[in-house]
Amino acid sequence: MKCGSGIEARQVNEVSINVDPIQAGGRLTVDAMKAVIAYGDGYSVCDNCRKPNRLDYISKPPIAEFHKDLAQWLNMDSARVVPGARRGFQAVCHTYVKQGDPVLLTSLSHYTEFLAIEDSGGIACEIPVDKKYIVTADETAKKIEEVKKQFGRPPVLLFIDHVDYQFGNVHDVEGITKVAHQYDIPVLYNGAYTVGILPVDGKKIGADFVVGSGHKSMAAPAPSGVVAATSERANEVFRTTAITGDVTGRKFGIKETELMGCTLMGVTLVGMMASFPHVEERVKHFDRELENNRIVLEALLSIEGTKVLSEYPRKHTLTRIDTTNSFDKVAQNHKKRGFFFSSALTEKGIAGIIPGATRVWKFNTYGITTKQANYLAQVFIDIARENNLKIS
Ligand SMILES: *Cc1c(COP(=O)(O)O)cnc(C)c1O
pLDDT at 255: 98
Longest dimension (CA), the chain: 79
Mutate to test the pocket of ligand 1, among 87, 106, 112 (most ligand atoms within 8 A of CB): 112
Q: Which atom of ligand 1 is nearest to the CA of 163?
A: 13
User: Ligand 1 centre from 337 Cα, in Å?
Assistant: 32
Q: Which atom of ligand 1 is nearest to the CA of 161?
A: 13
Closest-CA residue, ligand 1 atom 5, reads 85
pLDDT at 120: 98
Q: Answer left, alpha or beta for residue 159, where phi above 0 means left and psi between -120 and 50 means alpha.
A: beta
Alpha-carbon span 180 to 159, nearest angstrom: 10
User: Ligand 1 centre from 84 Cα, in Å?
Assistant: 7
User: Ligand 1 centre from 4 Cα, in Å?
Assistant: 31
User: Ligand 1 centre from 351 Cα, in Å?
Assistant: 21
User: Ligand 1 centre from 90 Cα, in Å?
Assistant: 12
| CATH classification code of 43-265 | 3.40.640.10
Task: Return the CATH fold of 2-23+284-386.
Answer: Aspartate Aminotransferase, domain 1 (3.90.1150)
Q: Which atom of ligand 1 is nearest to the CA of 164?
A: 13
pLDDT at 1: 81
Q: Which atom of ligand 1 is nearest to the CA of 87?
A: 9
User: Ligand 1 centre from 192 Cα, in Å?
Assistant: 5
Give the global pTM. Answer: 0.97
pLDDT at 51: 94
User: Ligand 1 centre from 5 Cα, in Å?
Assistant: 32
Question: Which amino acid belongs to residue 51?
Answer: K
pLDDT at 338: 93
Closest-CA residue, ligand 1 atom 15, reads 165
Domain ranges of the chain: 2-23+284-386, 43-265
Mutate to test the pocket of ligand 1, among 86, 87, 113, 209 (most ligand atoms within 8 A of CB): 86
User: Ligand 1 centre from 165 Cα, in Å?
Assistant: 8
Q: Which atom of ligand 1 is nearest to the CA of 212?
A: 7
Q: Which atom of ligand 1 is nearest to the CA of 109?
A: 13
Q: Do 43-265 and 2-23+284-386 have the same topology in CATH?
A: no
Residues with pLDDT less than 70, the chain: none
Ligand 1 site residues, Cβ closer than 6 angstroms: 22, 84-86, 110, 112, 161, 165, 190, 192-193, 213, 215-216, 225
User: Ligand 1 centre from 82 Cα, in Å?
Assistant: 12
Q: Residue 97: what are its φ and ψ, rounded to 5°?
A: -105, 125
